[in-house]
Structure 1
Amino acid sequence: MRKFATIIGTLAAAAKLEAVGNTSVARYTIAGTLTELNAAGEEVAVPFFQECETWGADALFVADLEPGTWLTAVGKPEMNVWHDRANAAAPVAAPRPGAAPTRAAPTHTQQRRAMRLRTETVDRAFIDAETVAETNGAIRGLYGVNQVAMSGRLTDDIKVKDTNGGAFAYGRIAVDDRVFKGGQWTTQTDFIDVKLWRDAVAMVMDGKKGQPFTIVTGKMLVNRDRDAEGNVTRFPYVEASLAFLGVRRERRSEKSNVDANRLDQGGAEGAQIPAQATGVGTEAPSPF
C-alpha cells in the first residue's frame, strides 16, 4: 500500500450523509490533540482536525453517532481540490470597429485544497471516559493518534530553510495509487506537500526531482494563513518525523541499451559506453 493512515480522536460534529448513486457517503471531521516537544524542549499540545470520508454501510454507522464519540479510522489519505467557479472569467464581448480586442483577465480557479482520509474501516475507540471533558490530560494524550505512511516521487528538488526554531526541509511528492471509482479500478495521483524538522532534514535534504521518497512515520496537519482582509487560506501537508530517499534511476537511451547488451555478450568492439554521473553540483539543494 502506497498510502496508509490511522486517526484516533473524537467526532467534531455530526457527519453529513449523502448519496452517490446507490451508495451512502458520510463526510465528517475527527479532532484530536498530540503532545510534542517544541524548539525549547517543552511539551506542548498540538490540536489536529482531520477530514474523513466513509462509504457504504460504515457511512450509516458514522451518521448515527453523536459528536464527541471517540473513533478509530484507518484508510488512505487523498488530496481533494475544489475549484471556485464563481470567479471564472466572464465572456469577452466582441470589440467595437477599430478598437483593440479585449483580453479576459486571468482568474484563480483553485478554491481550496484538503487532505481527506478515505476510510477502509471506522469504529468506536473504547476508552474509560463517559464525557469528552473527561478525556483531558493523560487519556487525551494516550488516545490522540495521527499517523501516516506513504511513498511517492519528488515533483521538485527538496528545499531547506533556516528559522529561529531550527532548519526544516519541505517539498512535494506525487503518490500513485489504485482506487476503485465509477465501477472500475483506476490510477489516481495525489500531490502532497511534505515538511520535515530537526534530525529528519539530514535524511532527505539531497532529494532531487523525480527521486523516490518514502515517509515512514508522519502526521497530517493543516497550516492556516490569514491575509490583511481576514481571508483564511488552508495549506494541508504531511509533517514527517522519519523519511528517506530511494535510488534515483536514470532512463538510458535505446542506443545505450544496445551498447550495454553488446558489452554483456563480449562483442562490443567500438561500442560507446554511456557516461556515468559524477554527482558534481548535486550534493545540496538550492536555497529557497
Structure 2
Amino acid sequence: MLNKIFLMGRLTRDPELRHTQNGTAVASFSIAVDRDFKDKQSGEKATDFVDIVAWRSTAEFVDKYFSKGRMAVVEGRLQIRDWTDKDGNKRRSAEVVADSIYFGDSKRDGDSGGTYHSAGRSSGVNVSASDFTDLGDDDGELPF
C-alpha cells in the first residue's frame, strides 16, 4: 500500500508548538493550497486548507523558521482520525502527518530572512550564495 502526499502552500497561521507528557515536540499548522483549475462560473482557482502535524525535530524546525504566509513544501502521509466532540457526536478529521518540510520560497520572499534549511529524516542543509561559483560564459556546447 502507498500513502504519500506532497503539498505546496502558504501557512495560514503561525505553527503551534506543544510537547507531549514525555516531552516529544509536536507542531500543528495549516496551509492553503490552490487547485490547478479555475471554477467555470467565477473564473477563480479554489483553495483547499490542509491541516498539517509535524513531530520531533521537524516540529521544532517548523516552529523556528516558519510563520504565517511562508510558502512550505510538505512531504508526508494522510491520516484520518475518528473522534467524539463535546456533544457526543462522532466526527472525522483528515490531516497530513509531515515527514519532511522544506521552504517553498526564497529567503527574500519569506519573512524569516535565514538560510535555507530542510527538516525531517535528513539532518538538514544550510545553503547560501557563497556556496556556489560562477560558471562564466556558456559556449552552448554540451559536456558529453
- TM superposition score normalised by structure 1: 0.34
Whole-Å Cα distance in 1 between the matches of residues 51 and 16 of structure 2? 12
1:28-107 matched pairs, under 5 angstroms? 28-38=29-39, 43-64=43-64, 65-84=66-85, 86-87=86-87
How big is the alpha-carbon RMSD for the aligned residues of Structure 1 and Structure 2? Answer: 2.4
Q: Which runs of 5+ in 2 are unaligned?
A: 112-144
- 1:124 aligns to what? 103
Residue identity matched to 2:59: A
Q: How far apart are the structure 2 equivalents of 1:51 and 1:6?
A: 13
Q: Distance in 2 between matches of 1:114 and 1:30?
A: 15
Q: 2:130: which partner in 1?
A: none
Higher-Rg structure is 1
Q: What residue number does 2:12 align with?
A: 12
Matches within 5 A, 1:1-288: 1-20=1-20, 21-38=22-39, 43-64=43-64, 65-84=66-85, 86-87=86-87, 108-110=88-90, 112-127=91-106, 130=109
Distance 1:17 1:113 in 2: 23
SS of residue in 2 equivalent to 1:46: strand
Provide, for residues 161-193 of structure 1, a one-character-per-residue CA deviation record: whole Å limited to 9, x for no partner.
Answer: xxxxxxxxxxxxxxxxxxxxxxxxxxxxxxxxx
Letter matched to residue 31 of structure 2: I
Task: Name the aligned partner's letter for residue 123 of structure 1.
Answer: Y
Q: As a proportion of its length, which structure holds more strand?
A: 1
Q: Which amino acid aligns with 2:35?
A: L
- SS of residue in 2 equivalent to 1:33: strand
Find the residue that maps to 1:58 and give its secondary structure: helix
| More contact order relative to length (CA 8 Å, sep ≥ 6) | 2
Separation (CA, whole Å) in 2 of partners of 1:37 and 1:45: 4
CA distance in 2 between partners of 1:128 and 1:62 (Å): 15
Higher helix share: 1
Distance 1:109 1:48 in 2: 25
Question: Following TM superposition, by how much is the alpha carbon of 1:115 offset from its aligned partner in structure 2, in angstroms?
Answer: 0.8
Moved over 4 A (4+): 37-40
